[in-house]
Copies of this chain bind each other. A is one copy, B any other.
Amino acid sequence: MIVIKKSCQSDPSGRRLESTLRDLGLRPHVVPGHDLIVLECTANERLLGTLRGCCDFEQVKIVPANYALCSRQYQAGDTVVNVRGVRVGGGYLAVIAGPCSIESEARLAEVGRRVRAAGANILRGGAFKPRSCPYSFQGLGTDGLKILRSVGEELGMPTVTEVMDPRQVELVARCADLVQVGARNMQNFDLLKEVGRAGKPALLKRGMGATVKDLLTSAEYVLAHGNPHVILCERGVRSFEDSTRNMLDLAAVPNVQGLSHLPIIVDPSHATGRPDLIPAMALAAVAARADGIHIEVHQDPASALSDGPQALLPEQFEDLMQEVFLLADVLDRFIDPCPDTSA
């Protein structure tokens, strides 16, 4: 794939360039909000020569197919996403914690206080839940969103929650500081486009059957539709190993960081589905220089309305965070505190 800067001194509108490209039999794709034209083609020497000839400047670049805007070739420096004051990427770690589902204001506030005190800087909680079974608890919906916003404001914690339906993106983006697209919707392209237009940072989880490049290609949808503030999340993929819920592909962290400037965090809760394995995998993620961790915490896992068995207890999370801080310190990584409540 080849990317071309659209405008130049001799062709400020870029129109002449576009028609030249069409004359060459190419299908130029102008990326909205970017001064860019993307050509889906196999980059070859001859075409490059021709393009440099008709563009008369340095702005013709070869970038990886399918994830041009996400690529390190397009942007060399790390993207640092700012989630209402909490930085993620470029050495700053997100510590996202909270229950799988929002069950009540009291329960969410209690867990929120505990995880905030232990060092978490973003509060998670599901309002719209993608449940495999249609008869399972599907989340509190709009009421859940209100609870999340209210608890987040009270605690001065930025919040994240999942959106599943393109018709709900606007609503979710109004209530949360970080809009999550879950693993099951990683290739729900209409949803990704809406999230691209949402005006809030996005958290994009890897699909359970998706490769690292599939993940970047899905992120490209969000960037190409106007939203450069994307955090990726490795959460395990399907494998033949049957003693864990999924297989955590931790190598995806340095792998993505080599290919892309976007931050990538790790969710050991969904990756393993087992509280006895979560702390070791969270520490491993920090040591592998992931840009954050995402941990489910519940004060009473046995009574949780969804995914209880994989949640840590608040006290287990506190123990984990002590070691997380030790490792972050020795590896020169920084965890932003929550912004002040009064802010």
Residues of chain A whose beta carbon lies under 8 Å from any beta carbon of chain B: 1, 29, 38, 40, 65-66, 68, 130-136, 164-167, 184-185, 187-191, 207-214, 217-218, 220-221, 224-225, 237-244, 247-255, 258, 271-272, 276-277, 280-281, 283-289, 323, 326-327, 330-331
Contacting residues, chain B, for A249 (C-beta < 8 A)? 239, 241, 247-248
| Complexed CA–CA distance, A38 and B331 (Å) | 48
A249: nearest chain-B partner, CB-CB: B247
Least distance between A111 CB and chain B CB atoms (Å): 23
In the complex the two chains form, is A281's CB within 8 Å of B277's CB? no
In the complex the two chains form, is A243's CB within 8 Å of B213's CB? yes
| Complexed CA–CA distance, A164 and B250 (Å) | 30
| Complexed CA–CA distance, A190 and B255 (Å) | 33
| Complexed CA–CA distance, A255 and B245 (Å) | 12
Contacting residues, chain B, for A240 (C-beta < 8 A)? 209, 211, 237-240
| Complexed CA–CA distance, A327 and B330 (Å) | 7
Given A29-B135, A184-B188, A287-B287: A239 in contact with B237 (beta carbons within 8 A): yes
| Complexed CA–CA distance, A29 and B221 (Å) | 38
How many chain copies?
Answer: 4
Can you name 8 A-B residue pairings with CB atoms under 8 Å? Answer: A134-B221, A164-B188, A165-B190, A241-B249, A241-B252, A244-B255, A283-B288, A327-B327
10 cross-chain pairs, A with B, having the tightest CB-CB distances, nearest first: A209-B209, A287-B287, A184-B187, A238-B240, A284-B284, A165-B190, A254-B280, A66-B133, A284-B288, A208-B209
Contacting residues, chain B, for A167 (C-beta < 8 A)? 166-167, 190
Least distance between A287 CB and chain B CB atoms (Å): 3
A133, A135, A164, A217 — which one has the most chain B CB atoms within 10 A of its CB? A135
| Complexed CA–CA distance, A328 and B286 (Å) | 14
| Complexed CA–CA distance, A212 and B272 (Å) | 14
| Complexed CA–CA distance, A167 and B132 (Å) | 22
| Complexed CA–CA distance, A191 and B164 (Å) | 9
| Complexed CA–CA distance, A248 and B214 (Å) | 19
| Complexed CA–CA distance, A289 and B286 (Å) | 13
In the complex the two chains form, is B212's CB within 8 Å of A243's CB? yes
A136, A272, A277, A286 — which one has the most chain B CB atoms within 10 A of its CB? A277
Contacting residues, chain B, for A285 (C-beta < 8 A)? 284
Given A134-B221, A327-B287: A209 in contact with B190 (beta carbons within 8 A): no
Given A237-B209, A238-B240, A240-B211: A276 in contact with B254 (beta carbons within 8 A): yes
Contacting residues, chain B, for A132 (C-beta < 8 A)? 66, 187, 214, 217-218
A165, A239, A240 — which one has the most chain B CB atoms within 10 A of its CB? A240
Given A209-B237, A284-B284, A326-B330: A247 in contact with B243 (beta carbons within 8 A): no
Contacting residues, chain B, for A247 (C-beta < 8 A)? 237, 239, 247, 249, 251
| Complexed CA–CA distance, A75 and B283 (Å) | 27
| Complexed CA–CA distance, A165 and B166 (Å) | 8
Least distance between A207 CB and chain B CB atoms (Å): 6
In the complex the two chains form, is A255's CB within 8 Å of B277's CB? yes
Of the residues B188, B251, B330, contact of A277 by C-beta under 8 Å: B251
In the complex the two chains form, is A40's CB within 8 Å of B280's CB? no
